[in-house]
Structure 1
Amino acid sequence: MSRTRPPRRRTRRALSAVALLAVTAGIVTACGEEDSAAPKASPKAVAPASSGAGQADGSKLRMIDSGGHRVAFHITAGHGPVIVLDSGGGEDSSYWKEMVPRLHADTGATVITYDRAGLGRSEAVPGPWDVEGAVGDLKTGLTELGVTKGVILVSHSQAGEVATYFTKENPEVASGSVLVDANLPPFFTDEEIARLVAASRPEVDAAKKDPTTPANRQLIATAENFTTAHQAYNKVSWPESVPADVIVSEKTPFDGSPEDAQRWRAAAASFVRQAPNRTLVTATGSSHDVPKDRPDFVVERIEQMVSAQG
């Protein structure tokens, strides 16, 4: 992020893979006026990359080896269902630090947050961002922690991809999910992927000139295999046995592009129609950063899912 740019709220940097290709490191995608078809993401969606400095009081840190790199898990011990909070692209586990103690106090449940590879206290993995690697890290961590069932996945933004693959591969572990303005398979049509790649090209090229920052590294890693990865993701099905509560922000990640915002909403509606145990709700007045804009709303939906599955 340029030193001459005005500072942005830290909580505005939560990014999906979509937003990582449209906006990153506080730089709003600047599509040329001649390219009016390219999507524009909300200028409020991002800020600098996470430092991973802080965690909610009361949580215990466990560094778990996963295929040769260490992943940081933060556990607030409780009983009953296990709530796993997974943040969006560019965010580490500290994104949830204000929500963790509240969820623990209200539900008595164990609450787990973790840092995906390269974020927070977790070690980086070289090469393109690999959702299956992220799923493997989560599964390894939960197994090491003795969590084999009753998991409520709360997944914001890019973490929706991790939740989808994890739940598909481990339906016996996941008992429910709250998907918070999350990346969902129906959104990633060939046409939409092409629009996102075209719109993000200037930012990706700029990031490659300074690949040392966490935000730029993640953007480059996500862009490397974005088309192939998301063509595959478009075909992934969520298991019908696992209920999902889908929260969509009112503004979406594409507040500046009505067409793409509508596609985002339509994808969420399409996902919900695929099974009777899915619900769709809108977080009115919220940007893509729903957990920060409407924390009470998100907490309420999580607690309802915990109650229904507990």
Structure 2
Amino acid sequence: MTMETFITVNDAKIFAKLIGTKSIKPTVVMDAGYGDYSKGWKSIVSEVASLTEVLVYDRAGLGKSEASSNPRTSLEMVRELKELLEKMRMTPPYLLVGHSFGGVNVRLYASIFPDDVSGLLLVDATPEDYRERFLPTMSEEFQEAYNNQFTLEGNYDEFGESLRQLKEYKMRLSVPLIVLSAGKKDYYSDESQKLWNLLQEETLQISSNSERIIAENSAHYIQDDEPLIVIDAIKRLLEPFEEN
């Protein structure tokens, strides 16, 4: 089953796509990276929908969704996702999957609404102290390109505010967490890759039930480079809900 719909959230119509059939397993809710939208999951969404119901959506101002007058910070996006799920009458808990900046959003969602979440999958997610510890170690060219990308969805300051919000609301979770990180990042030296690996490893500390998987042959878009790794991680997080 596939259903596409537009739901008014605050002052914007948000595009959402529901795929698959609801079962005793949690609905998988996928949040794409900065400037990305629902099509960012096209490599895996059909396979995941064979396991359980899947929701992909376009955040305000991206894809088919209207722009919002609210700040483009993670906290606003989390509130909007919460409203979207409620208006669609979705039943928690959800298995949240976040790629890159989407990982910031799903982490913040799990901290604010822990009862809504059955598990977390972070797909090469942005660490909370990326700017302080990682970005300064990169070349000036890399830093300039990084800073100049913030035109699609929120500006540089709003992105920084999102990382600050993640720290402010940070709490120790008990839900299963899989941290899936890229082992072959574009433009990364050996030293940069090691630091990235360290920051990803430290993310395990947010849950008492966590596991790290390195996608050795993947750059940032693991769902495209090694889709089976992402699909397998989702399967594992759904296993506790398998029918007997």
TM-score, L = length of structure 1: 0.69
Q: Is 1:78 paired with 2:11?
A: no
Distance 1:69 1:196, change over 3 A: farther
SS at structure 2 position matched to 1:218: coil
SS at structure 1 position matched to 2:237: helix
Distance 1:285 1:202, change over 3 A: closer
CA distance in structure 1 between the partners assigned to 2:133 and 2:202 by the alignment: 17
Paired position in structure 2 for 1:115: 58
Q: Is 1:230 paired with 2:174?
A: no
Q: Unaligned stretches of 5+ in structure 1?
A: 1-57, 208-214
Q: Is 1:65 paired with 2:8?
A: yes
Give aligned-pair identity as a percent: 23
Paired position in structure 1 for 2:222: 290
CA distance in structure 1 between the partners assigned to 2:2 and 2:121 by the alignment: 22
- What does residue range 209-288 of structure 1 map to in structure 2 within 5 Å? 217-218=151-152, 221-252=154-185, 255-288=187-220
Partner amino acid, structure 1, of 2:174:
S
Q: Unaligned stretches of 5+ in structure 2?
A: none
Cα shift at 1:193: 5.5
Q: What CA deviation, in whole Å up to 9, does each residue of 1:144-190 have, x standing for no partner? A: 122241200111111001101111111111110111111132x4363
Distance 1:90 1:294, change over 3 A: same
Residues matched between the structures, number: 240
TM-score, L = length of structure 2: 0.86
SS at structure 2 position matched to 1:79: coil
Partner amino acid, structure 2, of 1:79:
S
SS at structure 1 position matched to 2:67: coil
- What does residue range 141-156 of structure 1 map to in structure 2 within 5 Å? 141-156=84-99
Cα shift at 1:265: 1.2
Cα shift at 1:197: 11
* Matched-pair contact (CA < 8 Å) for 2:124–2:220: yes
Q: Is 1:89 paired with 2:25?
A: no
Paired position in structure 2 for 1:124: 67
* Matched-pair contact (CA < 8 Å) for 1:78–1:104: no
Cα shift at 1:70: 1.1
Q: Is 1:188 paired with 2:130?
A: yes
Q: Larger strand proportion, structure 1 or 2? A: 2
Q: Which is higher, the Rg of structure 1 or of structure 2?
A: 1
CA distance in structure 1 between the partners assigned to 2:199 and 2:237 by the alignment: 22
* Matched-pair contact (CA < 8 Å) for 1:189–1:234: no
Partner amino acid, structure 2, of 1:110:
E
Cα shift at 1:198: 6.5
CA distance in structure 2 between the partners assigned to 1:196 and 1:117 by the alignment: 31
Partner amino acid, structure 1, of 2:41:
W
RMSD of aligned alpha carbons:
2.7
Distance 1:238 1:199, change over 3 A: farther
Cα shift at 1:126: 4.8
Q: Is 1:169 paired with 2:112?
A: yes
Paired position in structure 1 for 2:47: 102
Partner amino acid, structure 2, of 1:168:
S
* Matched-pair contact (CA < 8 Å) for 1:245–1:278: yes
* Matched-pair contact (CA < 8 Å) for 1:184–1:268: yes
SS at structure 2 position matched to 1:242: coil
Q: What CA deviation, in whole Å up to 9, does each residue of 1:103-142 have, x standing for no partner? A: 222x2x1111000111111111257531111111211111
* Matched-pair contact (CA < 8 Å) for 1:84–1:151: yes
* Matched-pair contact (CA < 8 Å) for 1:164–1:238: no
Partner amino acid, structure 2, of 1:91:
D
Partner amino acid, structure 2, of 1:264:
W
